[in-house]
């Protein structure tokens, strides 16, 4: 339905509206599922090719506004938030987000989504952008994109020993300069493109991410407490 709507109407307006609605959604589990679904559509659907290109560059105030709007709702799902940062070439912010993953409740579903993200990284969405090289080939230019490599190493550390782990590990072994972690980060670019990007308050976005994830953690604890009480009643 969303893919057809994006063909018939303005894809940017549809995603902007959906993000605004989900930002107010009180059912956090539903919001997380919807965000994951919308993100998959955004990354893989041919109908959204133009919208992806708009987000990849972030050259205009409109594209930056759309990114911030999506980001705030995408925070319902940590892995989709990182994938949005990869799509928009916000590699430093993606790395900062992954640093926060250590404070999250790492579940099987969470690791499964990380696994799926690694599978997406090898697909065409993250490989080429028309004739320009994109993400995977940006790994060759370590000096300009160190935070991309750091973010990918962060994902690698989160994964259990699996096929996705081997896939990402093998890819990272091809990085020309494995000593990049010793580089002076002040000399590195953040992976951002365009003149309007400086208008984005990444500190505020990161704080919003933490706030939303804390709500999800509290909701999971409440559900676990109710389930424990129900089990006790059944035993009695």
pTM of the model: 0.80
Per-residue pLDDT of the chain (236 residues), as tens digits, is 888 888 888 899 999 999 999 999 999 999 999 999 999 999 888 889 889 988 988 888 999 999 999 999 999 999 999 999 999 999 999 999 999 987 887 788 888 899 988 888 776 566 544 434 467 677 777 778 889 989 999 999 988 888 888 888 988 887 775 555 555 555 555 555 544 556 799 999 999 999 999 998 888 888 777 766 666 666 55
Write the DSSP string, 94-146: HHHHHHHGGGS---HHHHHHHHHHHHHHTSGGGTEETTEE-TTGGGG-TTT-H
CB 222 within 8 A of CB 84: no
CB 31 within 8 A of CB 22: yes
Closest CA to 191 of 67, 89, 121: 89
Question: Which pLDDT belongs to residue 130?
Answer: 44
């Amino acid at each position: 339905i969303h893919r057809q709507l994006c063909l018939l109407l303005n894809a940017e307006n549809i995603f902007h509206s959906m993000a605004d609605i989900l930002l107010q959604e009180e059912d956090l589990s539903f919001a997380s599922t919807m965000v994951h679904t919308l993100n998959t559509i955004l990354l893989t659907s041919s109908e959204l090719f133009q919208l992806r290109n708009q987000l990849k560059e972030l050259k205009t105030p409109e594209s930056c506004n759309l990114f911030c709007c999506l980001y705030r709702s995408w925070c319902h799902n940590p892995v989709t938030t990182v994938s949005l940062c990869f799509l928009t070439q916000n590699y430093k912010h993606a790395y900062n987000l992954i640093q926060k993953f250590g404070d999250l409740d790492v579940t099987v579903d969470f690791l499964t989504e990380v696994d799926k993200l690694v599978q997406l990284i090898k697909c065409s969405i993250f490989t080429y952008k028309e004739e320009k090289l994109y993400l995977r080939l940006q790994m060759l230019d370590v000096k300009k994109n160190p935070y991309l490599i750091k973010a990918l190493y962060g994902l690698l550390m989160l994964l259990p020993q699996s096929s996705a782990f081997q896939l990402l590990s093998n890819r990272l072994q091809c990085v020309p300069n494995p000593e990049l972690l010793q580089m002076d980060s002040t000399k590195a670019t953040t992976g951002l493109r365009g003149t309007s990007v400086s208008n984005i308050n990444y500190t505020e976005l990161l704080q919003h991410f933490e706030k939303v994830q804390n709500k999800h953690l509290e909701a999971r604890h409440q559900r676990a407490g109710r389930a424990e009480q129900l089990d006790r009643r059944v035993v009695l």
